[in-house]
Structure 1
């Protein structure tokens, strides 16, 4: 299953993230946060994950002021989503840069782990 996710574009991975969060919103209930991902590399782009009252929506580009911005390569983004790269380790080794709330970044890692996206795609 993880291989399928690995072969998807960054945009398709975000579509998958949005889909699973809408199907099972429990882990994001009560959250009101804007995460921005600045993805570098061959499949670069800026994406925002907007969580409002426990409802997730992904937009390409910038729609709102982010509470937390994460910058990483397209390959490392996919590795993190598939659970093959720990967010804290990525940050400590310079593979992930975080602006804004470090606490929100850690919370997002826990939430994404709950969705176990490596098994959904």
Structure 2
């Protein structure tokens, strides 16, 4: 299973390879993942180009909080983002509409 950092790099490549399909031209997403292998990463999309930095970033439009285990389950397609959110395993702060645009790219 990919580490959160590896997965987020893959997500950035998906956005960069096809920005029109991604439907996200700009936004800053901060991922705060708890548990073993956890940490904070920022996915920054500007003008259809995405990059990932380790560590918190000021001015995030969306902050996504969850455990590393749940993040890996979600990115493997075994835990739906909506189910995770409704059960409290996924917490989102900020622009919920922007966060929803990320959903199709997560699995």
- Give 5+ residue unaligned stretches, structure 2: none
| Corresponding position of 2:43 | 49
In the alignment, which of 8, 27, 36 is matched to residue 33 of structure 1?
27
In the alignment, which of 59, 75, 85 is matched to residue 81 of structure 1?
75
In the alignment, which of 5, 9, 14 is matched to residue 11 of structure 1?
5
Contact 2:64 2:91 in 1 (8 A): yes
Q: What TM-score do the two structures reach when normalised by structure 1?
A: 0.78
State yes or no: 1:97 paired with 2:97. no
State yes or no: 1:20 paired with 2:14. yes
Deviation at 1:29, TM superposition (A): 5.3
The alignment partner of 2:102 has SS state of: helix
Q: What is the aligned residue count?
A: 107
The alignment partner of 1:98 has SS state of: strand
Aligned-residue RMSD, C-alpha: 1.7
Q: What TM-score do the two structures reach when normalised by structure 2?
A: 0.87
- Give 5+ residue unaligned stretches, structure 1: 1-5, 117-121
